[in-house]
Amino acid sequence: MKPPKNTWWEKASPSEIKKRQASLLHTFLKTRVIPFVSHYRDLFEKEGLTADDIRSTDDLVKLPFSSKKDLGETKDFVVIPDEEVLKKQPSTWLKILRHGPRGVKQALAEELRPIHMTSTTGRSSEPVPFLYTKQDLANLEAGGLRLMQLSETDADFRCINAFPFAPHLAFWQAWYAGIANTCFCLATGGGKVMGTSGNAKMIDKIQPDAVIAMPTFFYHLVNYAKTKNMRWPNLKRIVLGGEKVPEGMRKKLRKLCAELGSPNVDIISTYGFTEAKLAFSECKVPQGHESTGFHLYPDLAFVEIIDPETGERVPERTRGEIVFTPLQARGSVVIRYRTGDIIEGGITYDPCPCCGRTCPRLLGRISRVSDIHRLNIDKLKGTLVDFNALENVLDDTEGVGAWQIELRKHNDDPLETDEIIIHLVSMDGASEDLENIIRQTLKSATELSPNRIEFHSWKEMREMHGVGQELKEKKVIDNRPK
Ligand SMILES: [Zn+2]
C-alpha cells in the first residue's frame, strides 16, 4: 500500500479544506468508525446520533470528547470489521471492481488488519497500545515525507536517526521519513543501544547532514563531542521530536553546533503523539526568524482548539487545548481526542508567511495540562506549581547547560513539606552568579524559590538524566517517599 500522494493539503483554501474534511469525516464515521469501533458505536447510540448528524467538522461538537481515561480496553478502539456488514458496503463493491474478487481480500487486509503497534510512555500511567494497519503505515510514511519536505531535508542528505529503538512513535516516524524521502538514514538506536560515546563516534564517522533525535539526548551528544574536540562541520538540519523544544534550547543547540564547525544549522521541531500515529513538523525558516508553527495535514487529521475549562471551541490564534480527530486512520482510532497539550498561540488558517503552504498551523509553545502540580510547599495550604514555566526559565536562562528538577520531602519525612531542588550544569563555571540569576528569574516568573540549587558536571548530569539507560531523559524526578 502506497502513501497518499495528494498535495491539496499544501495549497487548498480554508473553505476548500473545510469542504474536503467534511466529506472525509462523514465517510470515515459512516463506513469505518460507527459500524466497526465498538466504543464509538456505543457512544453514538448513547447520544442518539448517526453518521448523518455529522456532515461537517462543525457538527463534531455534538459528540463528547474522548480522553486518556477513556482508553481502557484496546480492542474497543480498534476498527474490527464485520464481514456481513462489509459485504453490503458500496466501498467494498468498488474494491471488488478495482481489484477483482481475489484481489479484494488482500486489499481489505492491507486496509484493516493490524500489523504494527506503538504505545504511550506515560510517567504515571500504564502504557496504552495503538495498533496500525498497512494503511496507517502508509499515512505514517506520508507524514514522514512531509516532515522531510517541510524541513527541506534533501534526498541526498546523509541522516542519523538517534531515537531509541522502541515501539514509540518518534522512532518509527523518523524511520518512515527516511524511507519516504529515499535518503540514507542510519538508525543508531539512541543512547540505550550504543551510549553517548557510541552515537558521537558514529556521527563523527558518517558526518551526517541531518540528525533526528530527542532534544535532551542530542544536547548531551553535542556537549560530549565538544569535550572530545570532535568536528562536525557538515550538519545542516537538526530535527527534534519526542519532547518540547523551548526557544532557549534551540539557541543553545545552535551555538554548540557552531562550535563543532556547523554555524548554519536549522533546528526543526516536530509535534506528535501516540494517538495521532504521525507527527507534524515546522517548516524551515530563514536564519534568525521565529518558527511559523507546526504545519498540520488536513487530509489526515482534523484539529480543533478548545478552552480546557469549558470545552468550547476558541477563536483562531487563541490559546487552548489541542483536540485531535484522524480522518483516514484504521487500527486504533480516537475521535475528538483531548491531548492534554496546550498550544499557546492557538491555530491559524492563514497561509504560512514562510513557505506559503495553506495547511492549518499550530502557533507558539506547547505545554502539558498535567504539568501543573499541587505541592505542599508551606504547611498550611497546597501551592499550584506550573512546571512548564519552571522548565522554560531553566531552558531560556543563558549559562544554564543541562538541568534536572527534583522533588523531595523535607528530611525524607512523608508528613513534611515538599522541597524543590534544582540541579544544574553551568556552561561557563560561574556558579554563584548563575544561582542568583536563576533565583531572581524564577521568583519573578513563577513566584517560586527552590530550596536548593546544586551544580554538577556534564558527566554527573548524564548519569542523573539516565542517558543510555532510559528511553527519555529524566528531567523532572520525584523522590518523595510514596
Ligand atoms: Zn511554512
Determine if the pTM surpasses 0.85: yes
> Is pLDDT of 8 > 90?
yes
Residue 268 to residues 93, 154, 284, 475, Cα–Cα distance (Å): 44, 14, 7, 21
Pick from 291, 345, 292, 350: nearest CA to 320: 345
What is the structure's pLDDT at 185? 97
pLDDT digits (tens, 9 = 90+) for 361-408: 999 989 888 777 788 877 667 788 888 888 888 988 888 888 999 999
Q: Which domains does the chain have, with CATH numbers?
A: 129-364 (3.40.50.12780), 371-478 (3.30.300.30)
d(CA 249, CA 283): 18
Could you tell me the distance, in angstroms and rounded to a whole number, from the CA of residue 295 to the centre of ligand 1? 7
- What local confidence, expressed as pLDDT, does residue 471 receive? 76
361 CA from centroid of ligand 1 (Å): 8
Res. 26 pLDDT band, cuts 50 70 90? very high
Which 8-state DSSP code applies to residue 336?
A: S
What is the whole-number distance in angstroms between the Cα of residue 136 and the centre of ligand 1?
A: 25
Cβ neighbours of residue 347 closer than 8 Å, sequence gap 6 or more? 296, 303, 304, 305, 316, 317, 360, 361, 362, 363
CA of 268 from ligand 1 middle (Å) equals 11
Q: What is the mean pLDDT of the chain?
A: 93
Q: How many Cα atoms are found within 13 Å in the side-chain-facing hemisphere of 22?
A: 13
d(CA 372, CA 75): 32
Q: What is the pLDDT of residues 100-119, one digit of tens each?
A: 988 999 999 999 999 999 99
For residue 169, the CA-to-ligand 1 centroid distance in Å is 23
pLDDT of residue 204: 97
**Which of the four pLDDT bands, split at 50, 70 and 90, describes residue 126?**
confident
- Cα of 89 to ligand 1 centre, how many Å? 39
Q: How far does residue 296's CA lie from ligand 1's centre (Å)? A: 10
pLDDT for the residue 128:
87
Cell numbers that stand for 246 in this block: 523551548
Tell me the range of 316-325, 428-437, 473-482 where mean pLDDT is highest: 316-325
More confident residue, 211 or 121: 211
| 150 Cα to the center of ligand 1, angstroms | 7
- Map 449-475 to HEC letters: CCCEEEECCHHHHHHHHCCCCCCCCCC
Q: How far is the CA of 285 from the centre of ligand 1 (A)?
A: 7
